[in-house]
Structures are given as structure tokens and as C-alpha cells.
């Protein structure tokens, strides 16, 4: 990849000195730097984090029986890790889930999901998979407390067998699901559903019994929503928005390791079981691989709104670097809507530039744009609330990211642009922009319109508070911008 730095254009046109008072001064192009106390982050490693909120605490449960909790989505405390006896979630896990582990020929567990049902108990949908085949089993364990201990209630689905599968038909991995990656949710009519699947035959959905949590009878593997022929699509997660009255199906495309090109996408439907479409009106049932071709990424990469992939914000010559600011293979997300605050959160694991396979949980705030599609804030959540902004607050130099639509291990590096007072965009890309209402953003770049919001955020990479924008096009491409900032 080419290393991009800001040109003299930004160095001269952007930023002058900041004052040492509570609010910094303005630059000669109205870029405004606001002094703010640094948020406190406490990071944890939970792969494939699935979120549940119990009273005032958020919990994430992930692969390898890992879990953590937080009250503010910024500082996380580990609870458990490792599929071994003594894990507080399932203390005798090897014995308790022996049938599951034996079927899957595995010594570990993959991405689970936890939900509270009407009886006040917590139901963990666990799964194990051999990994190099869809030989998998999924079951339910139940606890009185969200932190366990959980007791096995039994297996609900199996896959990867030779012969007849759980739907009574011959199991074929190109059309039948790999029974992993569950997400269990209530729809707006209080019906209980489970969406699940990874690679293999695609993503499926089943209706569940609201009292027992088990699948309702005579559904087999359920209804297919998308995928087939080993398309690299997995980690489904459903979020209903009362604001838009849509069900949003989040998905991860690509491979989860640092060279896999993992990226987060979304589609939507008015019904929990579809059909789902992307912003271009494409039917997601057609997002599938090519028969006889393993992992044919170009066949399905055009489908779904891509929210985030590999990226790195490049610090400029006038900025002081605090830490590297970028993600590698972000994915397998969950999502949460807080009805009291109206905030949406995207919770996911990610790797980082130059840090190999090391991964941590990250949380970003989301917003619904004017076209009822989610857009994701460029920087991690630090407690910010979107506000009412004036044009002079959003003009100036930005570090610009275009996430494109491909599935790639390449890292998108930020490029310099400027939003001028006259509503023009100049620099690495050109076009026009406008601010309407309190914070609604509309940017037209190379003839394509992107709809989103402006948001004042904490930039962990520079240790400063900056204006940002996040927007997506009807073609399903997301763009980000982060104000350039300097400190004396």
C-alpha cells in the first residue's frame, strides 16, 4: 500500500495554535479544536462478542467461553475465558457439553448468544464446530444469573453429517447451514427467533418457543435468508429499530484473521424473516457463491451495505501521534438499541495494524441516516451524544476514508480533503457538501451522494476531540472523515 501523508495544502490551510483554556481557538479555515478530558478505556479480548444488557450492565459473550462486562461500553472487566473446567460460566464444561464437543470433534466452543426469557432465566445458545468442515452442534444452557453457572438443556441442531440432516434431507454443505453463530431475538410482536449460520449453505432463521427457547416443531433448519456454495458470510445479528420500523441484519464477510479481509455489512427488511435487501434494492437471497468454486468473493461482495473494513487514519505532519488509529478485520458484531437514550451501538472484535492476530472488543455509536440506513461513527464510543452543529464547526481539513465494497486484506489509508466554507470538497476527492438540520450531512463525491451525520468525537489516535462525518451511498459504500487536529 502507498503511504499517504497530507500535502502542504492541509499544513498551510488547516490549523493554527490551540489555546490552553477549556475551548481551543479556531484555525484560519474555521477548524475548531475543543479541549476535553480523555475518556478512560479498559480493553478486553472477547472474540465474536454478543451483547446483552442486564439492569445497568452490558455483557458480551464470545468464542472459547470468554465474557466481559461494562457499565459504560468503554471500560471492560473480564469475567471468563477458556473451555476448561473451572470456567465460571460452565464450571464443568467438558462434562456438561461432552456430547456437543464429541459430535463437533472439537475441544472449544464458538460464538454464543445469551438472552433472558419470560421466566427470568438466561438462555445461552452455545455451539461447537470442527472448523475445517461444518461438523457442528448447537444447544442451549440455562442459568438463573447472567454470569452463570449455566446447565445444559440439550442440543437443538446438528450439521455436517453424512446422510440425512436435521431437516430430513440429505445433508449438502453447499446448500445446508453450518449450525453455528446464533443470534436470538424478539421481534416487535414478541415472537422469538434465531438467525444463524456461517459459510457453507448460508444464513438461516428459525422461530423459537418463547417459553422453552427450543425451535418450534417441523421447521428443519428453517428459512434461508442468503448465502450458498461456501460464500464467506457469517456472524448474523439482528437489530430492530423502532425509529425506522426495519429489521437490520448485520453480517460479516471475508475471513476473520488479520489477512482475511473481514468486514461488517448490513441489509434490512420489514419482516424478521425477510426477504432482506441492501440499499441498492438487491435481494440478499442472491448473495451466494458460485457452484464448484470455493470462496468466490467477487460473486457476493457487491451485496449488502458495507459499514466498515480495514482502515487506518494517517496522522498528518501537524498532528502528534498518540497511538495507531485503525482496524484490521473488524467483524462478527452484535448491536444494541437503547430505548431510553435513542442511541445505537455496534459492538465487535477487531485486529489492528502491525499487531498480528491480537484482537480486542470495540464499540462505535451508530445513527440512522435520512434514507433509514445505519452509519457508524469513525471513532470508538467515548460517551458522546450527537449535537447541534454550525457550518463553521464542520468546515476544514479532514482525513478521509472510503471503505469501498470489496473483500480485501488491503488497508484503506486516509487521504486529505477539505470541506470549504463555500460547500465544496477539495483535495484527494472533489465534490460538494452540506449541513442541514442539527447534524445531517450530505456529501456528493464524484457524482455519488452519501447520506449521514456530523458528530463531535474523541479521537484516540491523536488524543483530541474532533469533528467527524460518517455517511453511506445508495450503492452501499460508506465514507468517513475525521478532522485534523493539533496541539501546541
Pairing of strands 66-70, 77-80: antiparallel
> Does 384 reside within a domain?
no
Order across the sheet with 360-368: list the strands. 374-376, 360-368, 343-351, 326-338, 311-312, 412-413
DSSP state of 8: H
d(CA 241, CA 229): 31
> Does 465 reside within a domain?
yes
Reference 78, options 310, 339, 361, 439; nearest CA is 361
- pTM as predicted: 0.93
> Does 478 reside within a domain?
yes
End-to-end CA distance of the chain: 31
> Does 419 reside within a domain?
yes
Residues near 254 by beta carbon (within 8 Å), at least 6 away in sequence: 232, 260, 261, 262, 263, 297, 329, 331, 407
Number of domain units in the chain: 1
CA 153 to chain centre: 30
Task: Please report, in tens digits, the pLDDT of each residue of the chain (488 residues total).
Answer: 333 333 323 332 333 223 222 233 333 343 445 567 899 999 999 999 999 999 999 999 999 999 999 999 999 999 999 999 999 999 999 999 999 999 999 999 999 999 999 999 999 999 999 999 999 999 999 999 999 999 999 999 999 999 999 999 999 999 999 999 999 999 999 999 999 999 999 999 999 999 999 999 999 999 999 999 999 999 999 999 999 999 999 999 999 999 999 999 999 999 999 999 999 999 999 999 999 999 999 999 999 999 999 999 998 888 877 777 899 999 999 999 999 999 999 999 999 999 999 999 999 999 999 999 999 999 999 999 999 999 999 999 999 999 999 999 999 999 999 999 999 999 999 999 999 999 999 999 999 999 999 999 999 999 999 999 999 999 999 999 999 986 53
Identify the pLDDT of residue 485.
82
Torsion sign across C-alpha atoms 387, 268, 410, 131: positive
Reference 182, options 219, 138, 120, 216; nearest CA is 138
> Does 459 reside within a domain?
yes
Structural domain of 479: 391-483
Any catalytic annotation for residue 187? no
Identify the pLDDT of residue 323.
75
> Does 444 reside within a domain?
yes
Residues near 275 by beta carbon (within 8 Å), at least 6 away in sequence: 225, 269, 283, 284, 285
> Does 234 reside within a domain?
no
Beta bridge mates, 361: 349
Identify the pLDDT of residue 322.
75
Any catalytic annotation for residue 273? no
CATH of the domain at 416: 2.40.128.10
Catalytic residue among 113, 127, 181, 234: 234
CA dihedral 136, 203, 113, 330 (to 10 degrees): 100
> Does 432 reside within a domain?
yes
Identify the pLDDT of residue 34.
56
Amino acid at each position: 500500500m502507498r503511504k499517504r501523508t497530507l500535502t502542504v495544502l492541509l499544513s498551510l490551510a488547516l490549523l493554527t495554535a490551540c489555546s490552553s483554556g477549556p475551548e481551543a481557538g479556531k484555525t484560519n479555515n474555521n477548524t475548531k479544536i475543543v479541549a476535553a478530558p480523555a475518556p478512560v478505556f479498559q480493553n478486553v479480548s472477547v472474540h465474536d462478542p454478543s451483547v446483552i444488557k442486564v439492569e445497568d450492565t452490558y455483557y458480551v459473550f464470545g468464542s472459547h467461553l470468554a465474557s466481559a462486562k461494562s457499565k459504560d461500553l468503554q471500560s471492560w472487566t473480564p469475567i471468563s475465558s477458556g473451555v476448561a473446567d473451572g470456567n465460571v460460566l460452565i464450571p464443568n464444561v467438558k462434562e456438561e457439553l461432552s456430547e456437543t464437543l464429541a459430535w463437533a470433534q472439537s475441544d472449544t466452543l464458538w460464538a454464543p448468544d445469551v438472552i433472558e426469557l419470560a421466566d427470568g432465566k438466561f438462555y445461552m445458545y452455545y455451539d461447537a464446530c470442527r472448523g475445517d468442515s461444518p461438523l457442528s452442534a448447537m444447544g442451549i444452557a440455562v442459568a438463573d444469573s447472567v454470569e452463570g453457572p449455566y446447565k445444559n438443556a440439550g442440543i437443538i441442531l446438528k450439521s455436517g453429517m453424512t446422510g440425512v440432516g436435521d431437516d430430513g434431507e440429505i445433508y449438502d454443505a453447499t446448500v445446508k447451514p453450518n449450525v453455528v453463530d446464533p443470534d436470538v431475538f424478539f421481534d416487535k410482536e414478541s415472537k422469538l427467533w434465531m438467525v444463524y449460520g456461517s459459510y457453507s449453505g448460508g444464513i438461516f432463521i428459525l422461530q423459537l418457543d418463547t417459553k422453552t427457547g427450543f425451535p418450534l416443531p417441523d421447521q428443519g433448519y428453517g428459512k434461508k435468508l442468503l448465502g450458498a456454495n461456501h460464500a464467506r458470510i457469517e456472524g448474523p445479528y439482528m437489530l430492530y429499530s423502532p425509529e425506522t420500523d426495519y429489521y437490520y441484519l448485520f453480517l460479516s464477510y471475508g475471513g476473520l484473521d488479520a489477512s482475511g479481509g473481514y468486514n461488517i455489512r448490513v441489509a434490512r427488511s420489514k419482516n424478521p424473516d425477510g426477504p432482506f435487501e441492501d440499499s441498492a434494492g438487491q435481494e440478499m437471497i442472491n448473495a451466494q457463491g458460485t457452484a464448484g468454486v470455493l470462496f468466490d468473493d467477487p460473486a457476493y461482495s457487491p451485496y449488502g451495505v458495507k459499514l466498515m473494513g480495514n482502515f487506518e487514519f494517517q496522522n498528518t505532519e501537524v498532528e502528534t501521534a498518540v497511538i495507531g488509529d485503525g482496524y484490521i478485520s473488524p467483524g462478527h458484531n452484535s448491536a444494541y438499541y437503547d430505548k431510553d437514550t435513542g442511541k445505537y451501538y455496534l459492538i465487535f472484535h477487531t485486529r489492528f495494524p502491525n499487531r498480528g492476530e491480537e484482537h480486542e472488543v470495540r464499540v462505535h455509536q451508530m445513527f440512522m441516516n435520512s434514507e433509514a440506513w445505519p452509519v457508524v461513527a469513525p471513532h470508538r464510543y467515548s460517551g458522546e451524544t450527537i449535537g447541534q452543529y454550525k457550518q463553521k464547526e464542520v468546515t476544514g481539513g479532514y482525513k478521509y476514508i472510503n471503505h469501498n465494497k470489496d473483500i480485501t486484506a488491503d488497508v484503506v489509508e486516509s487521504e486529505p480533503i477539505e470541506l470549504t466554507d463555500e460547500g465544496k470538497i477539495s483535495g484527494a476527492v472533489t465534490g460538494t457538501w452540506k449541513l442541514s438540520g442539527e447534524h445531517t450531512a450530505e456529501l456528493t463525491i464524484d457524482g455519488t451522494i452519501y447520506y449521514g451525520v456530523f458528530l463531535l468525537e474523541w479521537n484516540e489516535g491523536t488524543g483530541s476531540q474532533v469533528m467527524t462525518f460518517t455517511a453511506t451511498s445508495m450503492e452501499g459504500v460508506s465514507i468517513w472523515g475525521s478532522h485534523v487536529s493539533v496541539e501546541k
